[in-house]
Amino acid sequence: MERLKQLKQVLEFIQRRKRLVGFFTIIVLAVFFVTISKVYHYSEKSEFCASCHEMKIHYDSFKASKHHNEHVENCHACHVGPGLKGYAHAKLSDGTHDSFMHAFQAYTDGAFIEIAEDSLQILNGNCVRCHSEGFTKDKSHIEYVSKSNKHGTGGATPEKLACTDCHLGVVHPHMPGDLFKAYAAKKIKPYGTYEETDCLACHKMATPDVVKEWTKSAHAVKGVTCISCHGNDHRYIARKRGYVSASACGECHQNQFLDFKESAHLQGHPVAATSKFDVITTKLLNIEGCKDCHKLSLSYEFDRFGGSCDACHPSHKFAVTDAKAYDACEKCHIGGPDHSRLDTSEKSIFGKVQKLRSQGLITKELVTCQACHGPNKSHNFTKSFIPQNLDVLLFGGTGLVKLPTTHK
């Protein structure tokens, strides 16, 4: 009864002093909204994030990084998604979680605060958005990465490759990332077993061109990563100097390997002795011109599975177009050692091809080695078959020959 009486008195006072109550209500609301606005804008600043001691090391590293520029002014640029939904997620999910952990002093032992898995997708989305707008040296790289996948095991669907799989520790301290930077800077070969993302993150710094080539390959699209071909034991990889035998490729490309296995290309790869020496000496192991094609030693077990696919399919793109190029064979069989060179005399097949090329009657792409060698997509290039159009061209008339426009 007493409370109802007090409430009645308050309502009567409001009725008598409507203007006064309305005036103070407006002032209170104005102060409230101004305060909210100030807090909102302050919370967008990096200094707000750094007000918690757990974030101090991340704040300092951000200030010292290349990402602290006119395009990335604060933490929100990377860590908050687009629109109201992205802002709500950052504040209600990430902010609440971090505040809760701060209140319970979860990081007093020096452990780094880490980004949540669902927020990692937002971060990668902002990477793509920002670098697609022109803040990148190679726009095509983003397109290729978007098509690339990680290795799927046990029949699982391959996961999409993300920016943060390779670019570790770009802005904030990252233990593996910092370790990989040290490896790359000092050219140290790490020993141990690693995951595919470790390979990509380290070699993005150690051999960036290799990683870029891989992202442009069909392997990247199908989720064939470093560990698929090289394995995950870096000690063994270093011992082999990264060598991947044709038999390793044959685990997936079975028909091509079986053809290649019968060819002179593979048969001539492992050489244990030459015609002049019964014993291979250390000097012979480094003969210029020989070691590029032949394995002049069978010291290790992996040497015995001779042959290499990247002689024709250059790593790490392994593109079919490169293997079909007119000069793919010529680099060895024209400019290579004497015993591998083709007969280019005027009466030979290739001599005729060269003559027609020099006269401008055919283009280099019109007649290639692969047109006759390895018919029906065979990888045994010992087999040969001259198609009818080339038979006419080279041996029986003008066929596809372009007639000269002058009499010179």
* pLDDT, tens only, 235-270: 888 888 888 888 888 888 998 888 888 887 776 655
Q: Which conformational region is residue 68 in: left (phi greater than 0), alpha (psi within -120 to 50 degrees), or beta?
A: beta
- Write down the pLDDT at residue 110: 58
Collapsed DSSP state (helix, strand, coil) of residue 77: helix
Collapsed DSSP state (helix, strand, coil) of residue 194: coil
90 bridge partner residues: none
Main-chain dihedrals φ then ψ at residue 115, nearest 5 degrees? -75, 145
Please identify every stretch of the chain with a pLDDT value under 70, giving residue numbers as ranges: 1, 5, 7-8, 10-11, 13-15, 21, 40-41, 108-112, 152-156, 267-307, 335-337, 396-408
Give the alpha-carbon dihedral of 297, 302, 306, 311, to 10 degrees: -100
- Write down the pLDDT at residue 214: 92
Block residue for tokens 């055919």: 362
pLDDT tens digits, one per residue of 62-120: 888 888 887 788 888 888 888 888 888 888 888 788 777 777 777 765 566 778 888 88
Q: Which conformational region is residue 284 in: left (phi greater than 0), alpha (psi within -120 to 50 degrees), or beta?
A: alpha
Burial class of residue 282, CB neighbours in 10 A (0-12, 13-18, 19+) = exposed
Block residue for tokens 């390793």: 248
- Write down the pLDDT at residue 405: 42
Q: Cα–Cα distance between 314 and 332 in angstroms, integer? A: 14
Q: Please check whether residue 275 is in contact with residue 285, taking contact to mean a CB–CB distance below 8 angstroms.
A: no
Residue 190 host element (H or E): none
Tokens representing 31 are 């102060």
Q: Cα–Cα distance between 247 and 229 in angstroms, integer? A: 10
Q: Is the peptide bond before 41 cis (omega within 30 degrees of 0)?
A: no
pLDDT tens digits, one per residue of 301-325: 555 555 678 878 888 888 888 888 8
- Radius of gyration in angstroms for the set of CA atoms belonging to the chain, rounded to a whole number: 34
